[in-house]
A = this chain, B = another copy of it.
C-alpha cells in the first residue's frame, strides 16, 4: 500500500529538466510561482515570478509555455503531498485520520484558492488531481462513515467542497477560521445520543 500511485504522480515532475542549472531554475520558478500566486492571486505577473526566481523571463517560458502550465504544476505538486499524507495517516482511528487529513487539506486550500479557481474544470491535469484526491482521501472518509462517525447522507465530494469553501474565505484571524471550521464539521459528524 505504501507504493500505491495516484493519477497525478506521472503528470508532475515529468518535465523537470535533467541538467543541473536547468533543474535549479525549474525549482526556483516553481517556488516563486507558489509564493506569487498565494500573494497576488492568479493574476500575478509572470515577469515578476521570473524576477523572484532570479531567472530571465525567457527561462520561465521555456519551462512553462503558458500560464496554465505553471498553475497546473504548482497545483499538482500540492496534491501529490496530500496523497502521500493520506497513506501515512491510514492506520489511525477512523475519525482522527480523516480529521488530520482534512486539516492539512484545509491548509493547502488557503493559498491554493486562486490557482484552483483559475484551473476550474477546463484542465485535464485538474481532473487528474481531483481523481487523486478522491483516491487518497476517499478511503479515509468511507472508513469514518462505516464506523458511524460521519453522517450517512453525505459524500466525500461534499466534504471537500465544504472545507475548501470555508478555507477560501478571509477571516479576522486564525482562531475564527478554526472555530467556524469546527462548527461546520460538527454538522458532518453523526449526532451521538447523549445518553449513550
With A184-B187, A187-B184, A187-B187 in contact, is A164–B169 under 8 Å at CB?
yes
The listed residue (B162, B179, B180) touching A180 by CB distance below 8 A is B162
Copies of this chain in the oligomer: 2
Can you list, as one digit per residue, whether each of A161-183 has a CB less than 8 Å from chain B (1) or not (0)? 11011111111100010011001
Question: Is A92's CB within 8 Å of the partner chain B?
Answer: no
Assembled-state Cα–Cα distance A97/B27 (Å):
53
A-B contact pairs, 28 of them (CB 8 A): A43-B43, A120-B170, A121-B170, A154-B179, A154-B183, A157-B172, A158-B179, A161-B166, A161-B169, A161-B170, A161-B176, A161-B180, A162-B166, A162-B180, A162-B183, A164-B169, A165-B166, A165-B168, A165-B180, A166-B166, A183-B184, A184-B187, A185-B187, A186-B186, A187-B187, A191-B191, A193-B194, A194-B194
